């Protein structure tokens, strides 16, 4: 057996080299400096003792990596800025296109703006009616173009309008108005009401309504006034609408109503002309007032005509005086006018007001009865009817007791 391995004879141990002596041991170990081995007298930084350490450049790409890490953010910022510019320019072009649409305006539409509506809600309403293409674009546009507070009311707009045209109209205020023609109104009273509308004049309207410029199929020869031949109700007066156009609407509506109640056939059945029946209906409207009174009042008129008695209707005297209601005095009853049915027998020359459909129906189909007189006997306007003058006196006494004389 061999003893412990002598460390000096181990193949892994190199001969020691005394400090300060040449390192021939390198050659003895079979290695040379040219073989790539690092000599012991070379410092870790590659320099030899006694020499300045070598300055190696930083690892390749280290500075480039730092710059590269900031580069994507710069690109993103540029992209965001460009995108914002595109949106701004595109938005501006879009709003301008909406504000000034190409092509002619469309048909007229009515828009009613409720009380308390602002620019935003009005824009939505206009867009829903096709007046503007986009409420959002209008709101954006209004931020740079003063739009006044919106007045409640009705407006006539044209579809496919420019924003500026809409703004101008909103600044002007409502341009569509409701004209109410109540039963019992006369042509003169209607003219006064029409004269209050923008663009209309009372005297001009009255002239057109009484001169024959507009006619009704129910007018007899020689009659030029439309008194009694215009339908009651509510009319929408549009901007620029003329008096003639407005009157034609009223005549057409009356014609429709007359056809619905069978005016021509009913008048023939009674033995009167349609115009005479309308005149009776106008008296019934003023004298009866309440629907429940109208039928009997119509019967009184026909009974008096049949008996060759003067009608003696206060309403016709008041019409001659240009008054609507009120007390009729003894002096009034002496008024020399063909409308004074105390002085002249028969019907007045024209109707004395616009009758309601109820009055027309009462004049066409009055109840049977022999009444010749009537008077109001209740606070609500209810009338009492009698066949004799004595009965009339008794009813008048009752009315006096109730404070209705």
d(CA 278, CA 229): 8
d(CA 375, CA 389): 12
Alpha-helix runs per DSSP H in 327-388: 357-364
The pLDDT value given to residue 95: 64
Mean of the per-residue pLDDT values of the chain: 85
Give me 381's structure tokens.
Answer: 């306007």
Give me 315's structure tokens.
Answer: 């309403």
Mean pLDDT, residues 245-270 taken together: 98
**Residues whose CB falls within 8 Å of the CB of residue 185, separated by 6 or more in sequence, listed in order:** 193, 232, 353, 354
Give me 266's structure tokens.
Answer: 């009913």
The pLDDT value given to residue 29: 40
Q: In the chain, what is the greatest distance between 2 CA atoms, to the nearest angstrom?
A: 175
DSSP string, 261-305: HTHHHHHHHHTS-HHHHHHHHHHHHHHH-SHHHHHHHHHHHHHHH
DSSP string, 13-68: PPPP--TTS--THHHHTT--GGGTPPPTTS-TTSPPTTSPPP-PPPPTTHHHHHHH
Compute the C-alpha angle 47/49/53, nearest 5°. Answer: 35
d(CA 348, CA 338): 6
For helices 357-364 and 291-306, give the axis angle rounded to 10 degrees: 40
- Under 8 Å between Cβ of 255 and 243: no
Give me 394's structure tokens.
Answer: 């008794």
Measuring CA to CA, which residue among 48, 41, 12, 7 is closest to residue 29? 12
Give the Å distances, CA to CA, from 73 to 62, 78, 82: 19, 9, 14
The pLDDT value given to residue 4: 42
d(CA 131, CA 265): 47
DSSP string, 140-172: HHHTTS--PPPPPEEEEEESS--HHHHHHHHHH
- E-assigned strand segments in 313-397: 373-376, 383-386
The pLDDT value given to residue 87: 67
Q: Which residue has the tokens 């003895």?
A: 28
Domains and CATH numbers, the chain: 108-172 (3.30.1490.480), 181-371 (no CATH)
**Residues whose CB falls within 8 Å of the CB of residue 259, separated by 6 or more in sequence, listed in order:** none
Q: Tell me the CB-side half-sphere exposure of residue 362, using CA atoms within 13 A.
A: 28
Give the Å distances, CA to CA, from 345 to 67, 174, 245, 304, 390: 115, 50, 37, 9, 22
**Radius of gyration of the chain from Cα atoms?**
53
Percent of the chain clearing pLDDT 70 (strictly above):
79
- Under 8 Å between Cβ of 327 and 292: no
d(CA 311, CA 17): 161
Give me 68's structure tokens.
Answer: 């590269």
The pLDDT value given to residue 8: 40
pLDDT in tens, 260-303: 999 999 999 999 999 999 999 999 999 999 999 999 999 999 99
pLDDT in tens, 295-329: 999 999 999 999 999 999 999 999 999 998 888 99
d(CA 372, CA 305): 10
The pLDDT value given to residue 76: 77
Note the pTM of the prediction, 2 decimals: 0.73
């Amino acid at each position: 057996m061999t003893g412990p391995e002598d460390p000096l004879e181990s193949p892994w141990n190199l001969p020691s080299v005394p400090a300060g002596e040449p390192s021939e041991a390198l050659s003895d170990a079979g290695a040379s400096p040219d073989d790539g081995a690092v000599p012991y007298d070379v410092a870790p930084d590659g320099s030899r003792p006694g020499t300045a350490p070598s300055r190696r450049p930083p690892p390749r790409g280290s500075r480039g990596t730092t710059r590269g890490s900031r580069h994507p953010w710069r690109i993103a910022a540029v992209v965001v800025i460009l995108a914002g510019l595109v949106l701004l320019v595109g938005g501006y072009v879009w709003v301008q296109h909406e504000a000034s649409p190409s092509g002619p305006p469309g048909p007229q539409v009515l828009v009613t703006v409720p009380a308390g509506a602002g620019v935003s809600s009005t824009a939505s309403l206009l867009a829903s009616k096709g007046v503007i293409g986009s409420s959002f674009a209008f709101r954006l546009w209004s931020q740079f173009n003063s739009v006044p507070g919106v007045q409640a009311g009705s407006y006539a707009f044209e579809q496919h309008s420019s924003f500026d045209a809409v703004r101008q109209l909103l600044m002007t205020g409502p341009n569509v108005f409701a004209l109410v023609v109540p039963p019992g109104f006369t042509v003169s009273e209607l003219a006064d009401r029409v004269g209050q509308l923008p663009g209309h004049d009372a005297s001009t309207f009255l002239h057109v309504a009484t001169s024959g410029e507009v006619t009704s199929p129910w007018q007899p020869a020689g009659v030029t006034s439309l008194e009694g031949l215009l339908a009651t109700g509510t009319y929408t007066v549009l901007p620029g609408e003329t008096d003639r156009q407005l009157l034609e609407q009223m005549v057409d509506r009356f014609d429709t109503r007359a056809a619905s109640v069978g005016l021509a056939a009913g008048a023939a059945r009674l033995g009167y002309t349609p115009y005479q029946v309308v005149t009776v209906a106008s008296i019934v409207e003023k004298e009866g007032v309440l629907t429940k009174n109208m039928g009997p009042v119509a019967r009184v008129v026909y009974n008096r005509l049949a008996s060759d008695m003067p009608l003696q209707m206060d309403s016709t005297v008041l019409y001659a005086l240009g008054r609507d209601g009120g007390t009729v005095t003894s002096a009034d009853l002496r008024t020399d006018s063909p409308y004074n049915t105390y002085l002249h027998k028969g019907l007045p020359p024209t109707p004395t007001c616009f009758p309601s459909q109820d009055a027309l129906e009462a004049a066409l189909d009055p109840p049977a009865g022999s009444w010749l007189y009537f008077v109001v006997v209740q606070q609500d306007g209810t009338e009492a009817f009698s066949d004799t003058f004595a009965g009339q006196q008794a009813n008048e006494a009752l009315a006096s007791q109730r404070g209705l004389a």
